[in-house]
């Protein structure tokens, strides 16, 4: 193993990837790379430019002249061309548009090359639906988190409730199920559990317990 430690966490929407990735990054004192936030930031810029879910090619062009950076903070700050968009990219509208635009190969190519460059900068925990297969296929530890659709919707509901918004559980379940379908069936790098990833079923486990399991895999080598 080289001196850089790269942990890639993959899995469907709402499986707990970001919570677990943040815990691991903080325990290990290494960077946390939220690849989904990059798609979300681009979606926000695309929305502001009047683009829709069909306009992936134009969104990819916009990406060429866009700076997306991460800044310190809890939650980690996301900067779009220098503007702090951390909260603006967490709406349901942006979730939808990010998911739709992420289907376009042009968008994925631009994102993946940036993400690979970020990984090459040093140790990190990266998280997102292609990180174990495309962005960091040679990561030291690869993990695929799973949970049932109902469990993921329940967790998303809880997360949103803490933030003061409480969409109907039915509409969340539908939204996550649609995103699953899009993620699993897209032509370019569909969501899959690669054969060398550790599959972790997260039902009934707290994020800390999931992180413990992953640290255990790491210790195994």
Residues of this chain that bind ligand DC (CB under 6 A): 13, 35-37, 39-40, 98-99, 102, 128-131, 179
- Residue owning tokens 């469907």: 12
Minimum distance from CB of 174 to ligand DC (Å)?
A: 14
State the Cα–Cα distance between residues 91 and 180, nearest whole angstrom: 18
Of 13 and 51, which has the nearer Cβ to ligand DC? 13
Of 190 and 217, which has the nearer Cβ to ligand DC? 190
Of 52 and 216, which has the nearer Cβ to ligand DC? 52
Minimum distance from CB of 98 to ligand DC (Å)?
A: 4
Minimum distance from CB of 5 to ligand DC (Å)?
A: 19
Minimum distance from CB of 39 to ligand DC (Å)?
A: 3
Q: Exposed (0-12), middle (13-18) or buried (19+): which is 107, by Cβ within 10 Å?
A: buried
Residue 70, both tokens: 């991460």
Residue 26, both tokens: 């903080």
What is the DSSP annotation of 151-203?
Answer: HHHHHHHHHHHHTT----HHHHHHHHHHHHHHHHH-SSS-----TTSEEEE-T
Minimum distance from CB of 113 to ligand DC (Å)?
A: 13
Residue 93, both tokens: 């509208």
State the Cα–Cα distance between residues 38 and 111, nearest whole angstrom: 8
Of 165 and 216, which has the nearer Cβ to ligand DC? 165
Of 39 and 144, which has the nearer Cβ to ligand DC? 39
């Amino acid at each position: 193993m080289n001196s850089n430690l790269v942990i890639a966490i993959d899995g469907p929407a709402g499986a707990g990837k970001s919570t677990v990735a943040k815990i691991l990054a903080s325990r290990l004192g290494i960077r946390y790379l939220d690849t989904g936030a990059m798609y979300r930031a681009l979606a926000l810029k695309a929305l502001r430019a009047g683009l829709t879910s069909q306009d992936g090619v134009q969104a990819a062009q916009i990406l060429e002249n866009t700076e997306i950076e991460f800044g310190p903070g809890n939650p980690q700050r996301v900067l779009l061309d220098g503007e702090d968009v951390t909260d603006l990219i967490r709406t349901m509208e942006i979730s939808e548009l990010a998911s739709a635009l992420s289907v376009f190969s042009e968008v994925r190519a631009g994102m993946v090359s940036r993400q690979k460059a970020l990984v090459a900068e040093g140790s990190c925990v990266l998280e997102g639906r292609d990180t174990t297969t495309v962005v960091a296929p040679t990561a030291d530890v690869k993990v695929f988190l799973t949970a049932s659709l109902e469990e993921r919707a329940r967790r998303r509901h809880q997360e949103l409730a803490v933030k003061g918004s409480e969409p109907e559980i039915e509409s969340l379940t539908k939204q996550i199920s649609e995103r699953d379908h899009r993620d699993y069936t897209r032509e370019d790098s569909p969501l899959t559990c690669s054969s060398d990833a550790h599959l972790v079923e997260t039902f009934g486990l707290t994020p800390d317990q999931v992180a413990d399991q992953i640290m255990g895999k790491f210790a195994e080598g």
